[in-house]
């Protein structure tokens, strides 16, 4: 991991701020994701952090399907593992450590969630190309970015990049103090 990457990502020591009851009130995972998750799907939770969305996705799958919890930091994956160890969710969640320059998931997915993590990636174009290669036909990507880190101009530039790669914009959810976009392949 390069020094630049280290400065961009949320450190494991701050994981508690990513998984608390106040956030659950403001950014309720069930409310945000329920319209997009169906039983039997394979979901990539990219930049899963301590599993705030991962665990809720697994619950929405209702005992079917699979969640790939992917993060650059092993410490974040360890936090997810601590939460699911010995539970029924352990069978539905696969932990995957990414590399600094690659997601590295070989399995095709139905849905990618990238919540508050795209702004941390130095080479977004490469990441979006990898997302494209991972998606099954009619797969979708939900990108949500914080307004306090990503200006409207930067967010629109990101969307333009995604459109040049062949993604089509669908209507996405409104998320407190965030910019969001739901995309699918044309």
**Fold of the domain spanning 37-185:** Rossmann fold (3.40.50)
Sequential pLDDT tens for the chain (186 residues): 333 333 467 666 665 555 666 666 688 999 999 999 999 999 999 999 999 999 999 999 999 999 999 999 999 999 999 999 999 999 999 999 999 899 999 999 999 999 999 999 999 999 999 999 999 999 999 999 999 999 999 999 999 999 999 999 998 899 989 999 999 987
Please tell me the distance from the alpha carbon of residue 4 to that of residue 23, in angstroms, as a whole number.
28
pLDDT at residue 9, rounded to an integer:
72
pLDDT at residue 7, rounded to an integer:
46
If we measure between CA atoms, which residue out of 19, 87, 97 comes closest to residue 59?
A: 87
pLDDT at residue 6, rounded to an integer:
39
pLDDT at residue 14, rounded to an integer:
60
Residue ranges of domains in the chain? 37-185
Pairing of strands 66-71, 109-115: unpaired
């Amino acid at each position: 991991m390069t020094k630049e990457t280290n400065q961009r990502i949320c450190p494991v020591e701050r994981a508690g701020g990513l998984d608390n009851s106040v956030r659950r009130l403001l950014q309720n995972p069930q409310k945000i994701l329920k319209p997009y998750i169906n039983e039997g799907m394979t979901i990539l939770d990219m930049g899963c952090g301590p599993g705030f969305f991962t665990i809720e996705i697994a619950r929405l799958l209702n005992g079917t399907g699979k969640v790939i919890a992917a993060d650059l930091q092993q410490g974040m994956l360890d936090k997810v593992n601590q939460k699911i160890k010995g539970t029924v969710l352990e069978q539905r969640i696969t932990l995957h450590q990414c590399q600094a320059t690659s997601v590295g998931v070989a399995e095709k997915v139905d849905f990618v969630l990238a919540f508050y993590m795209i702004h941390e990636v130095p080479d977004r174009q490469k990441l979006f190309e990898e997302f494209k290669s991972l998606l099954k036909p009619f797969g979708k990507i939900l990108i949500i970015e914080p307004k306090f880190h990503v200006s409207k101009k930067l967010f629109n530039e990101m969307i333009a990049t995604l459109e040049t790669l062949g993604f089509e914009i669908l209507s996405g959810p409104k998320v407190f103090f965030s910019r969001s976009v739901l995309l699918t392949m044309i």
